[in-house]
Structure 1
Amino acid sequence: MNATALTIDRVRVRHHGALLVDVADIAVAAGRPLTIIGESGSGKSLLAHAVMGTTPAELEVTGALRLGARSFDLGDRRGRRPMWGRELALLPQEPATALDPTMRVRSQVAEGVPGFGWRSRGAGERADAALGHLGLSGAGRAYPHQLSGGMAQRVAFAATTVGGARVLIVDEPTKGLDPVALEQLADLLAEHCAGGGALLTITHDLRLARRLGGDVLVMRDASVVERGAVADVLNAPAHDYTRRLVGAEPSRWQLPWMRVSAPEPEGRPLVTAAGLSKAYGDQALFEDLSLTIRAGERWAVSGPSGVGKTTLGNVLLGLVRPDGGVVEHAPALRHGRIQKLYQDPAASFPPRVRLGVAVADVLARHQVPAERLRSLLAAVGLPEGLLERLPSQVSGGELQRLAIVRAMLPAPALVVADEATSRLDLVTQETTTDCLMTELADRDCALLWVTHDRDLAGAVADQLLDLGAWAQGRSSPTACCSSTK
Structure 2
Amino acid sequence: MTDALLQIEDLRIHVGSAAGRSASSMLLEACSFSLRQGERLTMVGESGAGKSLLAQAIMGTLPANLEATGSVRILGVPSNGQRKRTQALWGHGVMMLPQEPWTALSPLMRIGQQVAESAHYAGALAWPKAQTAAHVQLEALGLQGTAQHWLHQISGGMAQRVGVACASAAQARLLIADEPTKGLDPGACQQVAALLMAAQSQQQALLTITHDLDLALQLGGQIAVLKQGRVVEQGATEAVLGNPKHPYTRALVAAQPKHWPAYPFAGLADAQPVLQAHALAKRYGARTLFEKLDLHLRAGEVLAISGRSGCGKTTLGNVLLGLVQADSGTVDRALNLPRWKYQKLYQDPPAAFSPFRTLGQALADVCQLHQLPSGDIPTRMERLGLSGALLSRMPHQVSGGELQRFALLRTLLLQPCFIFADEPTSRLDPITQRNTMQVLCESTAVQGCAMLLVSHDADLARSCSQRHLTMRSHAPGTSATLD
Query: Counterpart of 1:12 in structure 2: which amino acid?
Result: R
2:203 corresponding residue in structure 1: 196
Q: CA deviation at 1:264?
A: 5.0
1:306-317 superposed matches below 5 A = 306-317=310-321
**What is the distance in 1 between the residues matched to 2:68 and 2:380?**
32
Give ranges in structure 2 of 5+ residues lacking alignment: none
1:45-76, CA deviations, whole angstroms, 9 ceiling, x for partnerless residues? 010011011112221122222233332222x2
Q: CA deviation at 1:472?
A: 6.9
1:11 corresponding residue in structure 2: 11
Is it true that 1:51 corresponds to 2:55 in the alignment?
no
**What is the distance in 1 between the residues matched to 2:121 and 2:374?**
55
2:474 corresponding residue in structure 1: 471
**What is the distance in 2 between the residues matched to 1:122 and 1:94?**
28
**What is the distance in 1 between the residues matched to 2:2 and 2:48?**
31
Candidates 340, 344, 351, aligned match of 1:347 = 351
Please say if residues 270 and 332 of structure 1, whose CA atoms lie closer than 8 Å, have aligned partners that are also in contact.
Answer: no
TM-score relative to the length of structure 1? 0.93
Q: CA deviation at 1:153?
A: 0.6
1:20 corresponding residue in structure 2: 27
Query: Counterpart of 1:409 in structure 2: which amino acid?
Result: L
Q: CA deviation at 1:473?
A: 8.5
- List structure 1 segments (4+ residues) > 6 angstroms apart after TM superposition: 472-475
Candidates 168, 180, 192, aligned match of 1:161 = 168
**What is the distance in 1 between the residues matched to 2:40 and 2:54?**
17
**What is the distance in 2 between the residues matched to 1:111 and 1:389?**
35
**What is the distance in 2 between the residues matched to 1:184 and 1:476?**
24
Q: CA deviation at 1:263?
A: 4.1
Candidates 92, 99, 104, aligned match of 1:93 = 99
Q: CA deviation at 1:240?
A: 1.0
| Worse-matched range after superposition: 5-14 or 209-218 | 5-14
Please say if residues 58 and 72 of structure 2, whose CA atoms lie closer than 8 Å, have aligned partners that are also in contact.
Answer: yes
1:335-363, CA deviations, whole angstroms, 9 ceiling, x for partnerless residues? 52111101000100011221111111111
**What is the distance in 2 between the residues matched to 1:45 and 1:359?**
25
1:250-271, CA deviations, whole angstroms, 9 ceiling, x for partnerless residues? 232247x434xx9455422211
Please say if residues 415 and 446 of structure 1, whose CA atoms lie closer than 8 Å, have aligned partners that are also in contact.
Answer: yes
Query: Counterpart of 1:339 in structure 2: which amino acid?
Result: Q
Secondary structure at the counterpart of residue 431 of structure 1: helix
2:397 corresponding residue in structure 1: 393
Query: Counterpart of 1:384 in structure 2: which amino acid?
Result: G
**What is the distance in 2 between the residues matched to 1:85 and 1:474?**
39
**What is the distance in 2 between the residues matched to 1:332 and 1:439?**
22
Query: Counterpart of 1:424 in structure 2: which amino acid?
Result: L
Secondary structure at the counterpart of residue 216 of structure 1: strand
1:253-272 superposed matches below 5 A = 253-254=260-261, 257-259=263-265, 263=267, 266-272=270-276
Is it true that 1:419 corresponds to 2:418 in the alignment?
no
**What is the distance in 2 between the residues matched to 1:206 and 1:441?**
30
1:145 corresponding residue in structure 2: 152
Number of aligned residue pairs: give it.
Answer: 475
Query: Counterpart of 2:358 in structure 1: which amino acid?
Result: R
1:212-269, CA deviations, whole angstroms, 9 ceiling, x for partnerless residues? 11110000111111111111211111111111100001232247x434xx94554222
The alpha-carbon distance between structure 1 residues 102 and 475, as it changes in their structure 2 partners (threshold 3 A), is: closer
Candidates 97, 102, 113, aligned match of 1:107 = 113
**What is the distance in 2 between the residues matched to 1:467 and 1:446?**
20
Q: CA deviation at 1:192?
A: 1.2
Please say if residues 265 and 294 of structure 1, whose CA atoms lie closer than 8 Å, have aligned partners that are also in contact.
Answer: no
1:403 corresponding residue in structure 2: 407
Identity %: 46
Is it true that 1:244 corresponds to 2:260 in the alignment?
no
Secondary structure at the counterpart of residue 80 of structure 1: helix
| Worse-matched range after superposition: 124-133 or 348-357 | 124-133
Query: Counterpart of 2:187 in structure 1: which amino acid?
Result: V
Is it true that 1:80 corresponds to 2:86 in the alignment?
yes
Q: CA deviation at 1:93?
A: 0.4
Secondary structure at the counterpart of residue 176 of structure 1: coil
TM-score relative to the length of structure 2? 0.94
Please say if residues 113 and 123 of structure 1, whose CA atoms lie closer than 8 Å, have aligned partners that are also in contact.
Answer: yes
RMSD of equivalent CA atoms = 2.2
The alpha-carbon distance between structure 1 residues 124 and 474, as it changes in their structure 2 partners (threshold 3 A), is: closer
Query: Counterpart of 1:15 in structure 2: which amino acid?
Result: V
1:19-50, CA deviations, whole angstroms, 9 ceiling, x for partnerless residues? 11123211123222100000000000010011
Q: CA deviation at 1:2?
A: 12
2:136 corresponding residue in structure 1: 129
**What is the distance in 2 between the residues matched to 1:474 and 1:144?**
21
Please say if residues 290 and 477 of structure 2, whose CA atoms lie closer than 8 Å, have aligned partners that are also in contact.
Answer: no
**What is the distance in 1 between the residues matched to 2:128 and 2:236?**
44
Please say if residues 288 and 477 of structure 2, whose CA atoms lie closer than 8 Å, have aligned partners that are also in contact.
Answer: no
Is it true that 1:281 corresponds to 2:282 in the alignment?
no
